[in-house]
Amino acid sequence: MNTVHKIPILNLYYLLLYAWNRLEEAGQVDVSPEDATSLLNLFSRVLISGSRYLLKRGLDRGYIDHSEDIRGLKGKIDFSATIKRQLQNNAMLRCSFDELSYNVLHNRILRTTIRNLVVRDDIDKRYRSDLADIHRRLDSINEIDLSGSVFKRVQLHRNNAFYGFLMDICELIYNYYVVTEDLGDRKFREFIRDEKTMSKLFEEFVRNFYKIELKSISGYSVKNTGEQINWDVKDPNEPDTYYLPRMVTDISIRTPYGYLIIDTKYYKEAMKGRWEDKIYSPNLYQIFAYVKNIQNKGPHYENCSGILLYPTVQADYEFSYIIQGHAIAVKTIDLAKPWQEIEKKLLSIVNT
Domain annotation covers residue 149: yes
Domain span including residue 139 = 31-61+103-193
Mean pLDDT of the chain: 86
Output 123-131 pairs: Cβ under 8 A, ≥24 positions apart: 123/40, 123/41, 123/44, 124/37, 124/41, 124/44, 127/41, 127/44, 127/45, 127/48, 128/44, 130/44, 130/48, 131/44, 131/47, 131/48
Return the pLDDT at 37. 82
Which of 53, 4, 1, 72 lies closest to 333, judged by CA? Answer: 4
What is the C-alpha separation between 307 and 331, in angstroms, rounded? 7
Return the pLDDT at 60. 92
What total number of domains does the chain contain? 3
Q: Please, which residues bridge with residue 25 across strands?
A: none
Return the pLDDT at 66. 67
DSSP per residue over 331-342, as a string?
Answer: EEEETTS-HHHH
Return the pLDDT at 248. 95
CB 275 within 8 A of CB 230: no
Which of 254, 255, 247, 257 lies closest to 292, judged by CA? Answer: 247
Q: Please, which residues bridge with residue 95 across strands?
A: 68, 77
**What value does the CA radius of gyration of the chain take, rounded to a whole number of Å?**
26
Q: Are residues 52 and 189 in the same domain?
A: yes
What is the C-alpha separation between 50 and 151, in angstroms, rounded? 18
Q: Which amino acid is at 187?
A: K
Q: Are residues 127 and 91 in the same domain?
A: no
Which of 214, 203, 310 lies closest to 254, judged by CA? Answer: 214
Q: Are residues 126 and 36 in the same domain?
A: yes
Query: Which phi-psi region, left, alpha or beta, contains residue 235 (left: φ > 0; alpha: ψ -120 to 50)?
Result: beta
Q: Are residues 245 and 335 in the same domain?
A: yes
CB 18 within 8 A of CB 209: yes
Q: Are residues 73 and 37 in the same domain?
A: no
pTM (two decimals) = 0.83
What is the C-alpha separation between 174 and 347, in angstroms, rounded? 34
Return the pLDDT at 251. 96
Domain annotation covers residue 6: no
Question: Could you count the other beta carbons within 10 Å of the beta carbon of residue 56?
Answer: 7
Q: Are residues 40 and 97 in the same domain?
A: no
Mention every residue, 6+ apart, whose C-beta is less than 8 A from residue 43: 169, 172, 173
Q: Which amino acid is at 198?
A: M
Query: Which phi-psi region, left, alpha or beta, contains residue 76 (left: φ > 0; alpha: ψ -120 to 50)?
Result: beta
Q: Are residues 166 and 261 in the same domain?
A: no
Q: Please, which residues bridge with residue 178 across strands?
A: 187
Looking up residue 335, the CATH number of its domain turns out to be: 3.40.1350.10
Return the pLDDT at 158. 87
Residues of the chain with pLDDT under 50: 1-4, 179-184, 274-275
Q: Are residues 35 and 181 in the same domain?
A: yes
Q: Are residues 71 and 207 in the same domain?
A: no
Q: Which amino acid is at 323?
A: I
Domain annotation covers residue 278: yes
The angle that helices 39-57 and 162-175 make with each other, rounded to 10 degrees, is 150
Q: Which of 161, 193, 225 is the last residue of a domain?
A: 193
Return the pLDDT at 183. 40
Domain annotation covers residue 4: no
Mapped onto helix, strand or coil, the DSSP state of residue 93 is strand
Return the pLDDT at 272. 58
SS (H, E, C) 95-133: EEEEEEECCCHHHHHHHHHHHHHHCCCCCCHHHHHHHHH
Return the pLDDT at 268. 66
Return the pLDDT at 333. 92
Domain annotation covers residue 8: no
What is the C-alpha separation between 72 and 88, in angstroms, rounded? 11
Q: Are residues 202 and 325 in the same domain?
A: yes
Domain annotation covers residue 1: no
Q: How many CA atoms lie within 13 A of 85 on its CB side?
A: 14
Domain annotation covers residue 209: yes
What is the C-alpha separation between 222 and 21, in angstroms, rounded? 14
